[in-house]
């Protein structure tokens, strides 16, 4: 094992979850759209109308601006520790992209919005995400010892 320990931050996690849920509700009320991060990003790239690109660009800007807000408030950028190499991050991102494509959505679309709408498909997708995540962490940390 590398000695990397995951730090559980319940208050920050709760605040983040509340903000994500609030953003999902606001997007549904304002646009009638589901807040799936990968769908928003891919739609920004492929969207046909200016109005559709506008709300998508605002959502992506909001997602990116969090660290900048922390910097403005504290004078320091948040520390992000990634316990794997850049090639592993890129490979992981590629695998997630494949999963999002075949699963017709991401964790925010299925896990936050779909489950809130009691979608059976989203419950199945979220359960699949979680099982695969647990298995991946177990194999990487305890079998491969990375």
Q: Which residue has the tokens 């919005």?
A: 113
Write out pLDDT tens, residues 83-126: 778 888 898 888 888 888 887 888 888 888 888 889 999 999 89
Query: Looking only at Cα atoms, what is the longest distance across the chain?
Result: 50
Contact 107, 126 (CB under 8 A): yes
Q: What is the pTM of this model?
A: 0.69
Per-residue confidence (pLDDT) for residue 6, from 0 to 100: 66
Residues 6+ apart with CB under 8 A from 20: 35, 108, 112
Phi first, then psi, for residue 119 (nearest 5°) are -75, 120
Write out pLDDT tens, residues 25-44: 998 898 888 888 888 888 88
3-state secondary structure of 81: coil
Whole-angstrom distance, CA of residue 47 vs CA of residue 88? 30
Give the start-to-end residue ranges of the domains of the chain: 10-143
């Amino acid at each position: 094992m590398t000695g990397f320990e995951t730090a559980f931050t319940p208050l920050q996690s709760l605040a983040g979850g509340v903000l994500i849920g609030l953003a999902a509700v606001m997007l549904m009320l304002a646009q009638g759209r589901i807040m799936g991060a990968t769908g928003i990003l891919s739609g920004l790239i492929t969207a046909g109308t200016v109005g559709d690109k506008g709300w998508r660009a605002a959502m992506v800007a909001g997602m990116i601006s969090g660290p900048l807000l922390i910097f403005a408030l504290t004078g320091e950028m948040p520390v992000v520790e990634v316990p794997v190499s850049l090639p592993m991050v890129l490979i992981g991102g590629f695998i997630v992209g494949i999963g999002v494509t075949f699963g017709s959505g991401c964790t925010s679309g299925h896990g936050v919005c779909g489950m809130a709408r009691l979608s059976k498909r989203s419950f199945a997708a979220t359960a699949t995400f979680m099982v695969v995540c647990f298995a991946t962490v177990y194999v990487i940390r305890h079998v491969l010892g990375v």
